[in-house]
Amino acid sequence: MGNKIRRLRENKGFSQEEMAEKLHISRSAYSRIENGETNSWVNHIEKLCENLDIKP
């Protein structure tokens, strides 16, 4: 799932820092989501979908 989130972010032209700010988390926490080190993306699914213009 992290790779998919990374691709969507890159397609939108957002940096990891920008996405982290949009989710109100640290860049390192966001990086762990993309690297598959945590499943906390589930806690941010609404904001991820909103910012990446996708449906859950």
What is the structure's pLDDT at 56?
84
pLDDT (tens digit per residue) in 20-44: 999 999 999 999 999 999 998 899 9
CATH code of 2-52, in short, is 1.10.260
Q: Cα–Cα distance between 13 and 47 in angstroms, integer?
A: 16
For the chain, the structural domain boundaries read 2-52
Task: Find the helix packing angle between 27-34 and 2-12, rounded to 10°.
Answer: 120
Fill in the DSSP letter of residue 37. Answer: S
Answer whether residue 4 shows pLDDT above 90.
yes
What is the structure's pLDDT at 30?
96
